[in-house]
């Protein structure tokens, strides 16, 4: 088996369980089956950020120079923010955020998510952050800001409901394309 050159850490949304098909899972599977030397890690939104960071750190130590990428959807956005903050010694090549939802308490659901309140801040170690948000349904993603002026940031506002935005073929295609680069 050849060594991985990239790792994609996917952090699911509130209703996405390991046993249910989801858009996030589709992206991870498509990436795994179309990109050589890619390691995939899938986590649920309420996984302890410290545990995820520990896993990423182990992969990075085992495979020096590996590119680290994050994919988060909904409640997974807050988790991704906290995990990335725990990895300041590693460059995060891409943080892909699909309608990321702010939660003031990492392990608990929040009423703040219903209206898009709150702000997530990407760490200085993030090279590129791409955010897709919607304003169609009540549950909606929050604002995302960059802590570093060197982080390349882009955001798209799409006409999807929150529960369907991660199934967007356009989003899935763009993530796969960026990972293949």
Asked if residue 95 belongs to a domain, the reply is: yes
Closest of 91, 141, 138, 134 to residue 120, by C-alpha: 141
Is residue 137, in this structure, part of any structural domain at all?
yes
Structural domains counted in the chain: 1
User: Is there a domain that residue 1 lies in?
Assistant: no
Q: Which two tokens stand for residue 32?
A: 């795994």
Per-position DSSP letters for the chain, written without gaps between them: -PPPSEEEEEE--TT--TTS--HHHHHHHHHHHHSTTEEEEEE-TTS-HHHHHHHHHHHHHHSTT-EEEEEEETTHHHHHHHHHHT-TTS-EEEEEEES----SSTTS--GGGGTT-SEEEE-TTEEEEEEEEE-SSSS---EEEES-TTSEEEEEEES--TTTGGG-HHHHHHHHHHHH-
Question: Do the domain assignments include residue 158?
Answer: yes
Q: Quick: pLDDT tens for 53-81.
A: 999 999 999 999 999 999 999 999 999 99
- Does the residue 15 lie in any domain? yes
| Cβ–Cβ < 8 Å for 145, 121 | yes
Look up the pTM and report it. 0.92
Round to whole Å and give the CA distance between 16 and 35: 24
Within-domain flag for 13: yes
Q: How confident is the model at residue 181 (pLDDT cuts 50, 70, 90)?
A: confident
User: What is the arithmetic mean of pLDDT over 20-47?
Assistant: 82
CATH number for the domain including 74? 3.40.50.1820
Summarised one tens digit per residue, pLDDT across range 124-172 is: 999 999 999 998 888 888 999 999 999 999 999 999 998 888 889 999 9
Given this model, what pLDDT does residue 35 score?
A: 85
- Does 51 reside within a domain? yes
Residue-number span of the structural domain to which 87 is assigned: 6-180
Residue 134 lies in a domain: yes
**pLDDT-based confidence at residue 13 (cuts at 50, 70, 90):** confident
């Amino acid at each position: 088996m050849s060594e991985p050159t990239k790792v994609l850490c996917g952090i699911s949304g509130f209703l996405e369980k390991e046993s249910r098909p989801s858009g996030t899972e589709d992206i991870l599977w498509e990436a795994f089956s179309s990109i050589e030397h890619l390691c995939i890690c899938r986590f649920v939104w309420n996984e302890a950020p410290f545990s995820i960071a520990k896993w990423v750190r182990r992969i990075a130590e085992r495979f020096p120079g590996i590119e680290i990428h994050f994919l988060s959807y909904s409640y997974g956005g807050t988790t991704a923010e906290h995990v990335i903050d725990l990895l300041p010694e590693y460059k995060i090549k891409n943080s892909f955020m699909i309608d990321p939802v702010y939660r003031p308490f990492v392990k608990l659901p929040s009423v703040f998510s219903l209206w898009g309140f709150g702000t997530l801040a990407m760490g200085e170690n993030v090279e590129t952050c791409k955010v897709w948000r919607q304003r169609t349904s009540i549950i909606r993603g929050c604002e995302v800001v960059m802590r570093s002026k060197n982080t390349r940031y882009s955001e798209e506002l799409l006409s999807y409901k929150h529960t369907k935005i991660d199934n967007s073929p356009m989003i899935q295609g763009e993530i796969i394309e960026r990972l293949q680069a």
